[in-house]
Amino acid sequence: MEFSLPLTDYLNQAQKYHFFFTYGKVSEVVGLLIKVEGLNVFIGEVCEVEVNKSGKIAQAEVVGFVKKTVLLMPLGELNGIGPGCLVRPTGHSLSVRVGKALLGHTLDGLGRIIDGNEVNQADLADYPVQHDSPDPFRRRPIRQILPTGVRPIDGLLTVGEGQRLGIFAGSGVGKSTLLGMIAKFSEADVIVIGLIGERGREVREFIEKDLGEEGYRKAVVVCATSDQPPLVRLKGAYVATAIAEYFRDQGKKVVLMMDSVTRFAMAQREIGLSVGEPPTTKGYPPSVFAILPKLLERSGTSPRGSITAFYTVLVEGDDMNEPIADAVRGILDGHIILSRKIASQNHYPAIDIQNSLSRLMKDLVADEQYKAAGELRENMTVYADAKDLLDVGAYKPGTNAVIDYAVSLHHPIDSFLCQQVDEFSEYSATVKQLLQLFDDQSTDRSQQLQSS
């Protein structure tokens, strides 16, 4: 009787374990790049670099290849790395530890807690940072309104659960303050905030002043300050998006805020130029415009939950048509433009209603609200066109009934659009106040039109 040993099974089991490691060696460090010889790795793989003499381990990610030379970019500082340093591939890409225990904590750009408070690691699970966007045919249609508590947005730029909007503005016009208001007042289960390329001073200030204790309790803040390496700033945006995706997969109603997409694009520009990409539009390499839709399309609805996203865009010189602003506006479901001119009039939030748009508002709100919002815009346009004549006293009241009506509505509209930072406006009250604007004036308007 013959017996055959299951050698194939034993061999398959043995191949699951690594009995040796393959190391590469640093051959050159140029600018932001670490060039390594002797590695068999893939794009996005995390590698560990042994720093000379100190015994410390520095993490780096594979960003490209030149023939057999591997190009790494550090996920930290380059200090201490030199020719001959050993490099070990980890065999996996970057992941983040996520879970409900993260709420009320601040993470760095790589997903590590930096606020000094401990979290039980047993309550967290690994989650990949890189993900594909949801299948278009599995996205739930956007039918539910997400009240933000901000009167101009709820009344005139109504947002739906799973919608993605851009907030476009120059520096110092009130982007962070508006984000803080939405974070405090919006009806969301979880808020994920990505502060990408922000000043270090502004991080704690945003959490304590703009977000507040109540908002922070249901929020996760991901912070990659401007002094961090470009790859860390880039990963900070992906980490924030991955955390939002995790909570969406749990069936939660998530609000994702990212400040700002422009600095995310600048980080990718630094990386792209370092690996030899040609600069194209205003110095941005092609990879910038390739990764923007991959990041922005990851938010939105899924079969289980929703991510309603607000992405700020820092426009250079208040030019709303600069390359990043133009690319982002074409991808998102609407845009909120903040005006420096309106802010200079001490009018906050400084939203330029006439140039802002929510592409889904018509499908979300009642006809009477949509009609009232359109009428408000029309009256603002009439008043703006006649303002020069009014300022110099060249217009005589009673000459044009339409202008007279717009003048009578100017101050009520201004009062409706102004809102204090700590003032919450309930959605139903906002709609009622919007409709009331025209109900109060309807009799006067009919009399003016008849007399004309």
User: What average pLDDT does the segment 308-332 reach?
Assistant: 88
Mean pLDDT of 423-435: 94
Mean pLDDT on 336-345 = 92
Peptide bond into 260 cis (omega under 30): yes
Q: How confident is the model at residue 1 (pLDDT cuts 50, 70, 90)?
A: very low
Mean pLDDT of all residues in the chain? 88
Q: Which domains does the chain have, with CATH numbers?
A: 20-93 (2.40.10.170), 96-362 (3.40.50.12240), 368-450 (1.20.1270.330)
Taking a C-beta distance cutoff of 8 angstroms, is the pair 333, 357 a contact? no
**pLDDT score of 283:** 87
Q: What is the mean pLDDT of residues 367-392?
A: 92
The helix/strand/coil state of 96 is strand
Q: Tens digit of pLDDT for each residue in 246-271?
A: 999 999 999 999 988 999 999 999 99
Q: How confident is the model at residue 5 (pLDDT cuts 50, 70, 90)?
A: low
Alpha-carbon span 151 to 424, nearest angstrom: 8
So what's the pLDDT on residue 196? 93
Q: If pLDDT is split at 50, 70 and 90, which confidence band does 438 have?
A: confident
Stretch 150-166: mean pLDDT, rounded?
Answer: 96
Alpha carbon 60 to its chain's center: 25
Average pLDDT over residues 214-235: 90
Pair 62, 45: CB distance under 8 Å:
yes
Residue 444 has pLDDT above 90, yes or no: no
Work out the percent of the chain whose per-residue pLDDT is above 90. 61
Q: Quick one: pLDDT at residue 397?
A: 87
pLDDT digit string, tens, across residues 274-283: 888 998 888 8
- Please, which pLDDT band fits residue 124 given cuts at 50, 70 and 90? confident
**Residue 449 pLDDT > 50:** no
Structure tokens at 15: 């191949």
Q: Is the pLDDT of residue 176 over 90?
A: no
pLDDT exceeds cutoff 70 at 448: no
What pLDDT does residue 115 have?
A: 85
In the predicted model, is pLDDT for residue 312 greater than 90?
yes
* Neighbouring C-alpha atoms within 13 Å toward the C-beta of 298: 22
Side-chain-side CA neighbours of 82 within 13 Å: the count stands at: 4
Separation of alpha carbons 196 and 216, rounded Å: 18
The H or E element spanning position 374 is helix 367-391
Per DSSP, which regions of 42-176 are E strands?
45-50, 57-66, 69-74, 86-93, 95-98, 105-108, 125-128, 164-169
Distance CA 439, CA 291 (A): 48
C-beta separation of 47 from 39 below 8 A: yes
The pLDDT-based confidence of 216 (bands split at 50, 70, 90) is confident
DSSP 255-298: EEEEE-HHHHHHHHHHHHHHTTPPP-GGG--HHHHHHHHHHHTT
Alpha carbons 29 and 81: distance in angstroms, whole number: 8
| More confident of the two residues 361 and 447 | 361
Amino acid 433 reads Q
CA distances from 400 to 146, 374, 405, 407, 452 (A): 40, 21, 9, 11, 7
pLDDT above 60 for 166: yes
pLDDT at 442 over 80: no
pLDDT winner (highest mean) among 15-19, 75-79, 105-109:
105-109
Q: What percent of the chain has pLDDT over 70?
A: 93
pLDDT for 74-95, tens place per residue? 998 888 888 889 999 998 999 9
| Amino acid of residue 422 | D
Beta strands of 318-362 (E only): which ranges?
334-337, 357-358
pLDDT tens digits, 28-56? 998 889 999 999 899 999 999 998 767 78
Q: What value does the mean pLDDT take over residues 415-431?
A: 94
